[in-house]
Chains A and B, each alone.
Chain A
Amino acid sequence: MNKNVQSLLFINKRNSEASWFVRLTNIHKQLPDLQSTILLAGLLFSTAITAIEQIHVTIGELENTHHPIDNIKGLSSRIDFIHNNQLAAAISTHSITLLPPYDGIQAVQLGCSALTTNETYIRCNSGNLTLTLSNDKQFSIPFQFQQTTHSENGQFRMTPIPFANKESQMRLRWQQKKWDFLTAINTLSLTPLSDLLHSAGISISDGFLTINAEAASPATNLLNANLRFSGTDISLQTHDASKAVEKLKIESHLQAGSTQATTQGNLDFYIHNGEIYLQPVYLSLNKASISGDTHFLLDNRNQNLKLTDFTLNHFPNFSLSGDLETTLEQKFPPNQGNIKVQIYNLANLFNHYIAPFLRTNSVKPTLSNTQGLILSELDFTNKQLDHLQLSTADVSATYTFNHQDISINNARISLNWRPDHCSEQSFVYWKTANFRGVPLPETVLRFKACGQQINFERNVTLPLLDGEMQFDHLDLKKLDNGNIDFSFATEINNISLAALSEAFDLPPLAGHLSASIPSVRLEKGGLQLDSSIQINVFGGTIEIEDLQIDGMLGSYPVLTANINFKKLDLGKLSKRFSFGNIEGKLNGRITGLRIENQNVVAFDAAFSTPEDRLLPYSISQKAVENIASLGGTNPADLLSRGVLKMFESFFYSRLGFRCKLRNNVCELEGIATAKNNGFYLIKGMLAPQINVIGYNHRVNWSELATRLKRITSQSSPVIN
């Protein structure tokens, strides 16, 4: 405050035209604070009270005063002597810089037009505090003030309160070291306060408050307070719009008592009507409410806070109750405590409080059709969750993400979790369930949960369609990097492919699938098989290697794999797909298969019948037509018009093709090269033989896939 202080003392003496004034510049002495300046004015007044008609003190600039004042310019104190101890006094600033959140106030004027004083008291019957805001708007707050000069008794009263009902008032009384405070503010309009709170980052568009408060300090370090307030139609939001309420109705009651050591009391609140937005959580309370109450005990020295018998109720969704001991610095997890949770509407709880954090892209996971009660209990010790119990009774729910449903019906869950020892049994049971179209029949899965992992019991059999999956092990673990590792080994026995293909929206298949999958790993939303899957089909085998599905539960799953085809019986295969009859065995390999969001985008494929065949195979005219059309050639007209139309089938020695798919173009090759840059797709043998020669080396993949789909969709195949 010692920087650039310039003060001007201006005195007009009664009955004199002369004026005295003193100019003090660059005072380097530390002026204590603003109060001292006011006292200085009072001192001057008292020494010359009988002879002076006006004292006007101006101080150029004060800096680094008490918080929240940062800077005062043009501080002016003026006292006018009227008559018979009647005075008028005013203190004003040209400008004042306050620290946030009060920095919306630009200037302050404190005046009293009727100041009475004598030897025993000083009284202001008509005071006025005027605040000028940074947008030049002004607030005027009338007040009355009285202070006895010897007994340290006094009273400060404000009435009416601006923007509130006329009967509203605020009163502060003190007598030596005791004081009491009373306020009764009725229907205070919050909208005009928006300008005052603008610099605090809050915009108020509507709302009314009614506040009734009493507080008293009967002795030093003792305080009793009783506050009731209610708000209606409260609409406000932070400037970044990340927190907002609209048309909110709130009622609250705080009763507290404080000593030097502790502060304790009771708090309750009830919020109903309106909307709350705390990014990203949105709550509509038009058909719901949030209420809570607690007894609290705060240790004023170490800031430890005990909440006893607290309840928090978000009707009609869930309620919490219990006891907690925490600190103001780190509220959660608490030092110790017990919380009981009752969830009445799991869908609302999930959709309001959890889903907003899970939303990705435009896809929002939702939980619906929930029924049943969920009870949970959490015990905390030493700032960590020590025990979690959860039990349900006949819960049903449907989880939807990316147009895929997972539903569970009449489920019972008993979960016992501890951070360190996996000794207590847990189980999940469902009467029926459905995983993305695959029905899962009645099942019980038993497991133990502890720390960051869930271990299901060994050798679990899970019925699936008309078959079953036998899990050697099934473990779920949270990794240090935050990802979930879900690994299992399974045997698939006799699962109906008809139902499976229908469930996964694949071309209709028939038959049954059996496979052994020694190791499956699900991590970061991706599935990876550490070993191959072998499927016996069409008299041969299909072996899937290096299968990996990334983003399996996301909106853009990517599948990569290598697939071997060994000795597939073309007779069975072609018969079931109505492709036309073909004899022979087909071998092949697809490497680098990449399917993005159900679109095949890349592979290197090579299929052919064995080379070492001495006797010819037969192939029907229809099959020839189909193969030829797949190769980009259409010999149908030739076959039907020419001499070849006399034969229903032909002989061939070998057939096959290679296709390298990139950028939606299949680069085609046959089993051998032919003249004129052609390639053999079918090489004939004996009579009637047929050669199918392709010339189009680059085929549009979409077109090829469409043709293939058109041909194969004519009937469903059977896998034996």
Chain B
Amino acid sequence: MKFRATLSTLALYALLAACVTINIYFPAAAAEKVADEIIEEIQNDESNNQQKVPDDKQLAPEDDPFSYNQHGVIESIAVALLNTLVSQAHAEEADLNADSAEVRKLKASMRARYNALKEFYANGSVGILNNGLIAVRNPGSIPLSIRNQVNQLVNTENSDRRKLYQAIATANGHPEWAQQIQQTFARRWIAKAQPGWWYKDGSGWKQK
């Protein structure tokens, strides 16, 4: 009887599993979270070159989401299978991987540049565009002695930003997401801008 019940349970799970439809769409919330983390990492004055250290609790074996000891073997496999499917489907919605060699390199590059850029954010020479990039607000007002520095900072920053958006999309196996990731970042760069910084919206330049 127990075997038959288990089979029934397995069949039910299999049926449920068969009904799972995995729709891969852009994980907006996860992208926003990734954007926030990356922006904070880049703009955090205290940040250093160390990688972000995961919470030790996350690494403890007891926190492993699967525990095979609580179920019968077949049931466990079935649950695990279903969990995996659902989990994977869920992962497609909620997870966004932002850790690749290219992303790390770009973050380090942008972090190094931020120390030079923040002065120009603060004095209004450089502003944040609403497309995920930055711009020199009034090029003619920049003193000649630093004009090239500001221009190059902005140009290289924009180049890195474009690469970053593409690298995140590529790291997640969806290079076509680059545009949506850029749009997400565009909102978050502005949201995380410090008071006094300038940003551009549909009506022109504004100061936070």
Q: Spell out A's residues near B (CB within 8 Å).
A: 203, 237, 239-241, 244, 246, 275-277, 279-282, 284, 356, 359-364, 555-556, 558, 594, 596-599, 601, 663-665, 677, 695-700, 702-703
Contacts and interface: CB of A to CB of B under 8 A. Distances in A.
Given A599-B50, A702-B50, 5 more contacts: A279-B151, A362-B116, A556-B108, A695-B61, A700-B56
Given A555-B108, A556-B108, A282 B61 contact: no
A363 B109 CA distance: 10
Interface string B138-150: 0110101101110
A122 B88 CA distance: 95
Nearest to B107: A556
Contact of A700 (B59, B109, B148): B59
Interface of B is mostly: helix
B49 interface: yes
Contacts of A695: 61
Contacts of A237: 140
Contacts of B147: 241, 244, 277, 279, 282
B113 A362 contact: yes
A501 B179 CA distance: 46
Given A277-B144, A282-B144, A601 B151 contact: no
6 contacts: A276-B144, A277-B148, A284-B145, A361-B113, A362-B115, A696-B61
A555 B51 contact: no
B51 A361 contact: no
B61 A697 contact: yes
A359 B61 contact: no
Given A237-B140, A279-B148, A362-B115, A601 B61 contact: no
Contacts of B139: 240-241
Contacts of B136: 241
B112 A361 contact: yes
Given A203-B140, A696-B61, A700-B59, A555 B53 contact: no
Interface string B102-140: 001100110011011100000000000000000010011
Contacts of B99: 663
B60 interface: yes
Nearest to B116: A362
Contacts of B112: 361-363, 555
Given A241-B140, A362-B112, A362-B113, A356 B148 contact: yes
A357 B104 CA distance: 26
A282 B51 contact: no
B52 to A, nearest CB: 7
B153 interface: yes
Contact of A664 (B52, B148, B153): B52
Interface in B63-113: 99, 101, 104-105, 108-109, 112-113
A597 B50 contact: no
Interface in B13-64: 49-54, 56, 59-61
Given A664-B53, A677-B61, A360 B156 contact: yes
The 6 closest A-B pairs by CB, nearest first: A241-B139, A362-B116, A277-B144, A280-B148, A698-B59, A241-B140
B6 interface: no
